[in-house]
Amino acid sequence: RLFQSHFFSESPKESSFKEGGYYRPLVMLLYTFEYSLWRESPLGYHLRSLLLHLLNVFLVYLFLEVLFHSEGISLLGSLLYAASPLHVEAVSYLPSSGDLLATFFALGTFHLFVSKRALWRSVSPFCFLLGLLCKESIVIFPLVLSVYVFSRPKDVQRRGPLLAHWALLFGYLAVRFLLFPFPKETLWEEETPLFLRVLSIGSVLLGYLRLLLFPYPLHLESSVSFQSALWTTGATFVGVL
């Protein structure tokens, strides 16, 4: 039933996926397993979140090592990642465990993908799939892998696995939209037109960059004024030109 229920259902036995638009069965599976261990004691859940965060810090170190080939940059970057106030929500707020898991599988996907061993590269798409089953935002990761591959024209051995990630992504999206469509109550059917939300992406990215440099104020959910977002995106575009 966990693989047939949406993420915010109160009971998998009484809810179907069509009642909500978030499909994160691995997170629900983790919660089910943890509840059998810890019940209503928060200590075990927080220890798990801390452990996942530490694992992600280590994977960030390896990620930077691959990109910059510098232990100093990798150590500094991973320490900044470990101590960043932006991670308070994901680490301390237990319902955000999907962020930690998705990050873990995303970074794991990258390390498997860049491995010199063909066997590990072949496992990379499966790791990517696990990430997709934790949080939908990981759909952008094939784009990250594409940038890595095409920034290295001589690295032709990874183009096959890269296509496998794209094929898996399109298969996932097809299943989500055809078999498990988003209901009308979700954000996909908001009054705000889709093209306006797309145009506001620039403002959202600038907002995240500002929080990265000046992490204040922090909030669980951030709202976006589409009017100001459009002005910000337009000004950014003109500035780049």
Peptide bond into 215 cis (omega under 30): no
Going by C-alpha positions, the residue among 133, 18, 134, 20 that lies closest to residue 8 is 20
Going by C-alpha positions, the residue among 67, 97, 66, 62 that lies closest to residue 81 is 62
pLDDT in tens, 73-122: 999 999 999 999 888 888 988 888 899 999 999 999 999 999 988 899 99
How far apart are alpha carbons 134 and 102 in whole angstroms? 5
**pTM, 2 dp:** 0.81
- Return the higher-pLDDT residue of 178 and 234: 178
How far apart are alpha carbons 15 and 18 in whole angstroms? 8
| Tally of helices (H runs) and strands (E runs) in the chain | 11, 0
> SS3 for 241?
coil
